[in-house]
Chains A and B, each alone.
Chain A
Amino acid sequence: AQSVTQLDSHVSVSEGTPVLLRCNYSSSYSPSLFWYVQHPNKGLQLLLKYTSAATLVKGINGFEAEFKKSETSFHLTKPSAHMSDAAEYFCALILTTDSWGKLQFGAGTQVVVTP
């Protein structure tokens, strides 16, 4: 069975320092992988996606993620955190065999940014 595991439920970083959010996946086939962000009282916004092209994916707001098949990981990074990055982040996958865009989400990582 396929699944997504976000290894940290909470991450606290200082403004201006790097951010690392960890995501591992389990799937029989190489999936499409996504990172979404959810600010309070808002819907989810797509940060970036991997769909079997370049393994290093650049997204919006300075975020990027690297697909590592050997490690079944898709960790999200940002070189320098901003106060506006405080939010909840979700890693998700869609199976290659899926016909309908069925996103499967991890449990989420709450990011706190301190001044």
Chain B
Amino acid sequence: ETGVTQTPRHLVMGMTNKKSLKCEQHLGHNAMYWYKQSAKKPLELMFVYSLEERVENNSVPSRFSPECPNSSHLFLHLHTLQPEDSALYLCASSQGAGRTYEQYFGPGTRLTVT
């Protein structure tokens, strides 16, 4: 595997389920990001991790819980979601966390909440 991979690619879950999204980067990067892409809103940053420490939480509801166990892996734990949480969730990584570093994106997980 190369670049940034995300699993699963598609997920359908009920409002009472608990599921997790996984992201893995094979680029030796030190920063990782979660973004949300909804149909009616611009791409928005959710979380930033730098050297496995969460450095940005962009006012995301607590039903989304990120985890970064090491610099190569990033998870997004989901519980009691709402239908409006249906979206494409994109993971990205960069060599460092900052404006000069290019972010490399994964293909995303398409989440549908029923």
A residues sitting closer than 8 Å to B (CB atoms) are 4, 31-32, 36, 41-46, 49, 51, 90, 92, 94-96, 98-108
Q: A100-B31, A101-B96, A102-B58 are in contact. List 20 more A-B contacts (CB 8 A).
A: A4-B42, A31-B99, A32-B100, A46-B104, A51-B99, A51-B100, A94-B99, A98-B99, A99-B55, A100-B55, A101-B31, A101-B33, A101-B94, A101-B97, A102-B56, A103-B35, A103-B43, A104-B42, A107-B42, A108-B42
Interface mask (B27-69 → A, CB under 8 Å = 1, otherwise 0): 0000101010000001111001010000110100000000000
Contacts of B33 in A (CB 8 A): 101
Closest residue of B by beta carbon distance from A42: B107
B76–chain A nearest beta-carbon distance, Å: 15
B50's contact among A4, A100, A104, by CB below 8 Å, is which?
A100
Q: How many residues of B contact A (CB 8 A)?
A: 29
Q: Is the CB of A101 within 8 A of B101?
A: yes
Which residues of chain B from 15 to 29 have any CB-CB distance to chain A below 8 Å in the complex? none
Task: Considering the complex, give the chain B residue whose CB is closest to the CB of A94.
Answer: B99
Neighbouring A residues of B103 by C-beta, 8 Å: 46, 101, 103
- For the complex of A and B, the 10 pairs showing the least CB-CB separation, nearest first, are A43-B105, A94-B99, A105-B43, A44-B105, A32-B99, A100-B97, A105-B42, A43-B107, A100-B48, A107-B42
